[in-house]
């Protein structure tokens, strides 16, 4: 297997194509990157900026440059000895427009479509109006209103010979069994003759070629005679007259889709989607024919040597992640002699392992992002910050409460259809036995809600219908929470559900009072029962995962503001800090089980840039001071608050409600955001720069308010409140405040900026030198003060970064740290070390080192050893107190370290070391101690290697 030394993620779209990337391959190579790592390359919805809404798995995106462009990029990479890893999306496809041929075929032919089993559609919905149909919740208003307004109409596509129902950009094909009646409605001899071609056509697969022949004749007729004849038929279905509108309605009702208001999706959707996005339909990649269709393109590109590895998006959305990974590995291994590099996007809870029976190289790095982020935080700041948050906002000091409330809200408002489908699967199992058939759907649904609400991780992974010991670690927590929440009357049902969801191989547990006795002679056959159980387990897992994502990351993390640097994808805000020992333990675990996992600190999904989080982490070290600052700013800016009708209010004091904008919680989060993303070189009197910042923060603010789902949300926006919040933001950042709030904000950022930059450099070197494959997100080689998308997907000035690549030590750039060149230089230098000694930082032993002395808690150190080669990494941490408020450079005065030293391995005692990042060559004393005043005399971080390794 060709294991990457390092990867760099690029976001491709029509504004940044494969050819655009090819122009910068020389820069990527000089930086030290071994593999580019792309966003999805398959054809997505037109204009997609991310590529996750694939509409055609078989074609490389033409907007991004097509297959020819991709191969030109790959060829350019090969010239520089580099490789290519591509992101693939096997879980879902885009179905929100008119570009997905598979989905359109389903709408046209229903259950008899060749692709009917490619998507997770429930063709046997309990709703009679949806049996054999697909709900299409695309209308902007209720169906009747849109129909009466003439926005739903019958159309004809001359290029394909198809009739379709059109609504804005949406296309809904009419089934050919209705073509005859449509053509006959014009009462014309020529169309009547064409109608005969469709008489007797059925939806059966054997009839579909006949319909295709008829459509071709229809296409040729229009090509030869023009469209006026067809217009007569379309007028018979005009939405503008009552009689013809009724005929149009009856035609629509006969189709294999049901047009509906978009608000119906959460309650009535009868197909699996990605999270709660009704424009993304779940794909049944567990079916062999679907698996092959979805992967045909990446398999071919891998076989041809264009692609070297795959990143699997949202692995937890799949029915069987384990089996998927095994099948994927097997197929890729068959195609090329070289083993593939495969990583999966997986959110792991604390101490939750990536399963060893998944034949992958690791995760995409969210777990490391969480670990290194938590390491930056001072645990002593947790309680004071929580207390300040509660005093200012009246909200809970604990994240767990927000999380539970958000999960309940998600199940009630965003996922009731998915919840009902999982409950029906359990109800079918209950109905199969005489001893359990009286356990009602409502009771089962109630029990299921509590299990999902209390489920602590994304999902379980049963094998042969049984949960593993690891699964039970988490399922038992959910059971305990559900048992506490439910009445005793529901406990017997809970025992049943526990068994059906993989606790027991028996059909039902032998519960107390006989309520859950084993099934009798009228039980369903074992194979049927086993299939029903596996279906229920899959639906349960495909419910807990999106609920966790939407409730935690996209709701609770926007409600809870103790410290926003811990509210990140893959993080648990209730876990405030990580000790050095815990960080070492996580690195050791990764080195032993998944040594080639990605190490990320920034992604296309992050909510705050890596350097925003690093700066905000400083607040954990000055928690009391930050609390006082928040209160002062709240008082200073009180005159700019808005009533919910948009009018200013003079003073609201400490009102904890939401009867003013932005409200205490949103205001407190806003201040954190401004502190975190304020550019290092921005001055309060730079009106244009401040305005640009305000516009970026306003984008974040709107998304944050709607995701919190408190005063406003995506489903029913409170536009007056949102406008008041925006006005408040622009008022406090107005040019006339440059001697008021802008000045104190800028001064505060200036004060903590050096400590934040030190945190960033620590985070950077740990990512580059820890066990795993360091991954860079586009543009983060310089300071990354981005916010949530689309802010974190802005264009990158690679030419500027290329021009700044140099061979001088990073320490040369520390005094001018605000421009970010010191970060770029650190990345370039450590990646150069990985290039020169690739095994040293990729296949080596990881050895935590002890730091002792007066300031031992303010440093972290470890060694990497491969054979006789060594590297020692030392970094400052929690340095705000040692820096002092007047420091303008992100480095602790060497003399301030005093007796603090690293206990070095005995094998290094007689070796000469030098710092890869500075001119320093610190000595190990006769007691085997490396004093930090020497090791960190030029930089706040050091990577020590032996003399003899070239410095450039």
Q: What are 146-170's pLDDT values in tens digits? A: 999 999 999 999 999 999 999 999 9
Count the Cβ atoms, other than its own, within 10 Å of residue 178: 17
pLDDT at residue 514 is higher than 50: no
Q: Are 155 and 285 in contact (CB under 8 A)?
A: no
Token reading at 61: 């995106």
| Nearest 10 degrees: Cα torsion 850, 854, 859, 865 | -30
pLDDT band at 227 (very low <50, low <70, confident <90, very high): confident
CATH topology assigned to domain 797-946: Immunoglobulin-like (2.60.40)
User: What integer pLDDT is reported at residue 279 of this predicted model?
Assistant: 95
Question: What number is the average pLDDT over the span 417-432?
Answer: 97
Please write down the HEC assignment for all residues of 96-143: CCCCCHHHHHHHHHHHHCCCCCCECECCCCCCHHHCCCEEEEEECCCH
Q: 821-825 — which CB contacts under 8 Å span 24+ positions?
A: 821/782, 822/761, 823/760, 823/761, 823/764, 823/781, 823/782, 823/783, 824/781, 824/782
Listed in sequence order, the residues at least 6 apart from 845 whose beta carbon sits closer than 8 Å to its beta carbon are 591, 864, 865, 866
What is the Cα Rg of the chain in Å?
Answer: 30
Measure Cα distances from 498 to 360, 425, 430, 485 in Å: 30, 14, 13, 15
Q: Measure CA of the first residue to CA of the last residue in the chain; give whole Å.
A: 28
Write out the DSSP string of 547-582.
HHIIIIITTGGGT--S-GGG--TT--TT-----HHH
pLDDT at 511 over 90: no
Residue 212, SS3 per DSSP: helix
User: Quick one: tokens of 79?
Assistant: 């010239």
Residues 166-207: pLDDT tens digits?
999 999 999 999 999 999 999 999 999 999 999 999 999 999
CB of 827 closer than 8 Å to CB of 33:
no
Asked whether the predicted pLDDT for residue 518 surpasses 60, the reply is: no
- Please compute the mean of the pLDDT values over residues 710-735 and round it to a whole number: 95
| Mean pLDDT within 813-832 | 97
Residue 695 has pLDDT above 70, yes or no: yes
Residue 656, pLDDT > 60, answer no
pLDDT at 947 over 90: no
For helices 664-677 and 741-769, the axis angle rounded to 10 degrees is: 60
Supply the mean pLDDT for the chain: 94
Give the domain ranges of the chain: 7-91+283-364, 101-277, 396-558, 624-750, 797-946
CA dihedral 668, 672, 673, 679 (to 10 degrees): 140
| Among 115-129, 641-655, 762-776, the least confident range | 641-655
Cis before 662 (ω within 30): yes
Q: What pLDDT, on a 0 to 100 scale, did the predictor assign at position 894?
A: 96
Q: Using one digit for the tens of pLDDT, what is the confidence trace for 349-394?
A: 989 999 999 999 999 999 999 999 999 999 999 999 999 999 999 9
Q: Which residues touch 267 (CB under 8 Å, ≥6 apart)?
A: 416, 417
Equal fold, 101-277 vs 797-946: no
- 100-159, pLDDT tens digit by residue? 999 999 999 999 999 999 999 999 999 999 999 999 999 999 999 999 999 999 999 999
Q: With a cut of 80, say whether residue 46 has pLDDT above it.
A: yes
Peptide bond into 550 cis (omega under 30): no
Residue-level pLDDT at 843: 85
Residue among 642, 422, 627, 622 nearest 535 (CA): 422
User: Residue 504: pLDDT band by 50, 70, 90 thresholds?
Assistant: confident
- DSSP codes, 718-771: -HHHHHHHHHHHHHHTSGGGTTTHHHHHHHHHHHHHHHHHHHHHHHHHHHHHSS
The confidence score (pLDDT) of residue 212 equals: 95
- Of the chain, the percentage scoring pLDDT greater than 90 comes to 91
614 three-state secondary structure: helix
Token output for 346: 């997986």
**Residue among 668, 550, 567 at smallest CA distance from 608:** 567
The pLDDT of residue 465 is above 80: yes
CA atoms within 13 A on the CB side of 289: 6
Give the model's pLDDT for residue 416: 97
- How many CB atoms sit inside 10 A of residue 921's CB? 12
Residue 226 pLDDT greater than 90, yes or no: no
Confidence of residue 648 (pLDDT cuts 50, 70, 90): low
* Whole-number pLDDT of residue 861: 98
Note the CATH architecture for domain 101-277. Answer: 2-Layer Sandwich (3.30)
Q: What is the pLDDT of residues 267-303, one digit of tens each?
A: 999 999 999 999 999 999 999 999 999 999 999 999 9
Angle between helical axes of 366-375 and 580-593 (0-180°, round to 10): 160
What is the reported pTM? Answer: 0.94
pLDDT above 80: residue 649: no
Per the model's pLDDT, the better-predicted residue between 704 and 508 turns out to be 704
CATH level 3 topology of 7-91+283-364: TIM Barrel (3.20.20)
């Amino acid at each position: 297997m060709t294991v990457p030394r390092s990867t760099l993620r690029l976001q491709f779209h029509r504004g940044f194509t494969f050819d655009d990337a090819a122009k910068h391959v020389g820069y990527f190579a000089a930086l030290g990157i071994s593999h580019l790592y792309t966003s999805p390359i398959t054809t997505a919805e037109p204009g997609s900026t991310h590529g996750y809404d694939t509409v055609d798995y078989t074609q490389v995106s033409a907007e991004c440059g097509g297959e020819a462009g991709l191969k030109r990029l790959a060829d350019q990479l090969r010239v520089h000895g580099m490789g290519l890893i591509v992101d693939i999306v096997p879980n879902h496809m885009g179905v929100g427009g008119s570009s997905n041929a598979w989905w359109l075929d389903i709408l046209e032919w229903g259950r008899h479509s060749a692709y009917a089993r490619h998507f997770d559609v429930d063709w046997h919905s309990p709703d009679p109006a949806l049996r054999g149909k697909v709900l299409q919740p695309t209308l902007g208003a209720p169906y009747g209103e849109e129909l009466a307004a003439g926005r739903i109409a019958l159309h004809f596509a001359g290029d394909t010979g198809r009739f379709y129902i059109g609504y804005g950009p949406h296309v809904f094909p009419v089934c050919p069994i209705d073509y005859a009646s449509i053509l006959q409605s014009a009462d014309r001899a020529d169309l009547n003759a064409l109608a005969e071609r469709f008489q007797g056509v059925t939806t059966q697969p054997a009839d579909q070629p006949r319909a295709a022949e008829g459509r071709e004749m229809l296409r040729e007729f229009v090509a030869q005679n023009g469209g006026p004849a067809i217009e007569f038929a379309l007028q018979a279905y005009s939405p503008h007259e009552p009689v013809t509108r009724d005929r149009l309605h009856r035609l629509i009702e006969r189709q294999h889709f049901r047009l509906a208001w978009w608000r119906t999706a959460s309650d009535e959707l009868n197909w699996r989607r990605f999270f709660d996005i009704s424009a993304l339909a779940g794909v049944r990649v567990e079916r062999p024919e679907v698996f092959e269709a979805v992967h045909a393109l990446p398999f071919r590109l891998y076989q041809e040597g264009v692609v070297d590895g795959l990143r699997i998006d949202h692995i937890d959305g799949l029915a069987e992640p384990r089996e998927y990974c095994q099948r994927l590995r097997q197929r890729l291994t068959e195609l090329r002699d070289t083993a593939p590099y495969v990583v999966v996007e997986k959110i792991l809870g604390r101490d939750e392992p990536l399963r060893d029976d998944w034949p992958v190289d690791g995760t995409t790095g969210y777990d490391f992002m969480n670990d290194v982020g938590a390491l930056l935080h001072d645990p002593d700041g947790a309680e004071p910050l929580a207390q300040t948050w509660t005093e200012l906002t009246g909200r809970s000091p604990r994240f767990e409460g927000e999380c539970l409330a958000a999960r309940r809200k998600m199940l009630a408002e965003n996922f009731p259809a998915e919840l009902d489908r999982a409950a029906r699967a359990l109800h079918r199992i209950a109905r199969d036995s005489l001893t359990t058939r009286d356990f009602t759907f409502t009771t089962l649904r109630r029990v299921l809600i509590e299990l999902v609400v209390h489920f602590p991780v994304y999902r379980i992974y049963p094998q042969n219908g049984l949960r593993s010991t690891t699964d039970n670690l988490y399922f038992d927590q959910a059971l305990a929470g559900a048992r506490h929440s439910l009445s005793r009357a529901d406990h017997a049902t809970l025992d049943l559900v526990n068994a059906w969801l993989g606790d027991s191989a028996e059909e039902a547990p032998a519960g107390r009072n006989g309520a859950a006795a084993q099934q009798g002679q009228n039980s369903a056959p074992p194979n049927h029962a086993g299939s029903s159980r596996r279906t229920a387990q899959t639906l349960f897992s495909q419910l807990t995962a999106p609920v966790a994502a939407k409730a935690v990351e996209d709701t609770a993390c926007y409600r809870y503001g103790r410290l926003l640097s811990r509210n990140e994808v893959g993080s648990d805000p209730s876990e405030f800090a990580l000790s050095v020992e815990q960080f070492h333990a996580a690195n050791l675990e990764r080195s032993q089980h998944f040594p080639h996992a990605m190490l990320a600190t920034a992604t296309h999904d992050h909510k705050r840039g890596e350097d925003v989080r690093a700066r905000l982490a400083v607040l954990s070290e000055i928690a009391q001071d930050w609390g006082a600052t928040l209160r002062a700013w709240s008082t200073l800016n009180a005159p700019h608050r808005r009533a919910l009708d948009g009018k200013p209010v003079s003073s609201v004091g400490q009102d904890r409600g939401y009867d003013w904008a932005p409200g205490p919680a949103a205001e407190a989060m806003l201040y954190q955001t401004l502190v975190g993303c304020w550019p290092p070189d921005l001055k309060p009197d730079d009106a244009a720069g401040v305005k640009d910042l305000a516009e970026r923060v306003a984008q974040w603010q709107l998304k944050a308010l709607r995701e919190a789902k408190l005063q406003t949300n995506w489903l029913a926006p409170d536009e007056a409140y949102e406008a008041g919040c925006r006005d408040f933001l622009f008022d406090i950042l107005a040019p006339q405040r440059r001697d008021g709030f802008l000045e104190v904000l800028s001064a505060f950022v200036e004060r903590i900026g050096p400590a934040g930059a030190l945190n960033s450099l620590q985070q950077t070197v740990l990512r580059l030198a820890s066990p795993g494959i360091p991954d860079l997100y586009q543009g983060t080689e310089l300071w990354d003060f981005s916010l949530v998308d689309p802010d974190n997907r802005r264009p990158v000035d690679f030419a500027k970064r290329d021009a700044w690549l140099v061979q001088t030590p990073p320490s040369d750039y520390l005094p001018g740290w605000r421009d970010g060149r010191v970060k770029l230089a650190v990345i370039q230098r450590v990646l150069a070390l990985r290039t020169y000694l690739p095994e040293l930082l990729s296949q080596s032993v990881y050895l935590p080192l002890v730091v002792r002395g007066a300031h031992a808690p303010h440093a972290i150190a470890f060694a990497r050893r491969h054979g006789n080669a060594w590297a020692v990494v030392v970094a400052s941490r929690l340095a705000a107190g040692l820096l002092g408020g007047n420091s303008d450079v992100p480095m602790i005065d060497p003399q301030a370290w005093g007796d603090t030293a690293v206990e070095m391995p005995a094998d290094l005692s007689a070796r000469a070391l030098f710092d890869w990042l500075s001119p320093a060559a610190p000595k190990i004393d006769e007691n085997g101690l490396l004093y930090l005043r020497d090791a960190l005399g030029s930089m706040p971080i050091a990577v020590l290697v032996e003399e003899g390794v070239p410095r450039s």
